[in-house]
Structure 1
């Protein structure tokens, strides 16, 4: 048994599971899993794909190497280490995003931003802002469509366009891909993510529900009630309540002996 969550390992056996849809803005529907480890040929193809190698650093800056033997579908990190990954769906008002990053940095936390390509088109300076703060960037598709409903070619276009934008802005396609409006990759989406150069589909095991704007206390309670070592937490830019909740979340993590790190560090 690897140190990863048992559920993540069980997912690897569910190759034929059908994809499910999330709500229009949540990305948090009941998971539809296509978690299957890449074949040697698929891994090799991803490593030399036009969009960039799956094993490339998370951005143009240095990133820690990943642990060996990771599954394609990842929703948690090791439960044996006092680390968690706060992952943010990257779109919305850049002022809110910058305020959130500043709050994280004041606490010495590092986060992973799963950027929407159209957001990077409109706010290209945010890519460098994320990386300069010591955080990392990943791919959350170009237009944040319900990717599980798209054809293979349409899904590939959504992934590849965002990858191209990341490459233009940072020199790398990023290490992580997360499907839009879905918690997990269907088999079709997984194949297209590999085709675009990604070796892993990044899910999560804790949904903060911050996109429902329940208020900062509710967001922090939701996270702190369920967080544990290895958790990958889903949060969003574009919501002022999330910015207000972040100091309490980070303080609560500290009190539990947990540290917020990038996903690459969580899985290194």
Structure 2
């Protein structure tokens, strides 16, 4: 186990070297690249991307998976410096762990290569709205445009609207947003039962401690790509979950 922990630390350090001095805000120093024309196959696509599916035993808004299996889903808000994202993805893959990424549509505009990078690693990819605004307070038309706008980008980049939808700036979707998500093609809204609070920048050890203290069989954990504390914490977080016998899997695997 110590050798594995050291390998995780080394991998994360190398992947994130120099990233912590860069701003996390999306769009800084980036060039907006056009999406592929609608209806054309993504040039890097090698296999069809997974589609959303219904889980008859699960509620419309899923907060956690079955409590009788020692598995957890680590779900990430997909936005921010792509070097942070690549570091977390690489660390997960070295540990044979899988994650779920809920991507913001404008982040995909700026970094379209990230969609296929996530799928190539065997991770889940989903929809976290187009602009990451307070979707529960929007009008029906504006809320649907936020969901559909991100779905369109995912479809053009991967051939799928993504396996999951999570509302922006809210742990749960309002009834209207839940209905609009179904209309857009998502049978479920993905919520969570463990909030890492990593977006408050509490320090890497605090991120690890909060997740490890609260996660249990079937938990869905909320994390973010765009914060250095999360990158630093991730190797220890995976190690501590493994030490407790909890395996990090995609949300699809958690519910299957």
TM-score between the two structures when normalised by the length of structure 1: 0.76
Secondary structure at the residue paired with 1:183? coil
The residue correspondences of 1:38-49 to structure 2 (distance < 5 A) are none
1:124 to 99, 103, 112: 112
What displacement does 1:60 show? 3.0
Matches of 1:189 and 1:241 in 2, distance apart?
31
The residue correspondences of 1:78-227 to structure 2 (distance < 5 A) are 78-227=66-215
Residues 261/66 of structure 1: CA separation in 2 closer, same or farther (3 Å cut):
farther
Matches of 2:162 and 2:224 in 1, distance apart?
19
Matches of 1:162 and 1:170 in 2, distance apart?
12
Secondary structure at the residue paired with 2:93? helix
Matches of 2:74 and 2:189 in 1, distance apart?
16
CA displacement, residues 147-188 of structure 1 (integer Å, 9 cap, x when unaligned): 011011110000000000000001000121000000001011
Matches of 2:52 and 2:79 in 1, distance apart?
26
Matches of 2:150 and 2:213 in 1, distance apart?
34
TM-score between the two structures when normalised by the length of structure 2: 0.79
Question: What are the ranges of 5 or more consecutive residues in structure 1 without an aligned counterpart?
Answer: 1-24, 26-58
Matches of 2:55 and 2:190 in 1, distance apart?
15
- Number of aligned residues: 211
What displacement does 1:70 show? 1.7
CA contact (8 A) 1:128 1:170 kept: yes
Counterpart in the other structure of 1:249 = 237
Of stretches 239-248 and 79-88 in structure 1, the one that deviates more from structure 2 is: 239-248
Question: What are the ranges of 5 or more consecutive residues in structure 2 without an aligned counterpart?
Answer: 1-24, 26-46
**Which structure has more helix as a fraction of its residues?**
2
What displacement does 1:71 show? 1.3
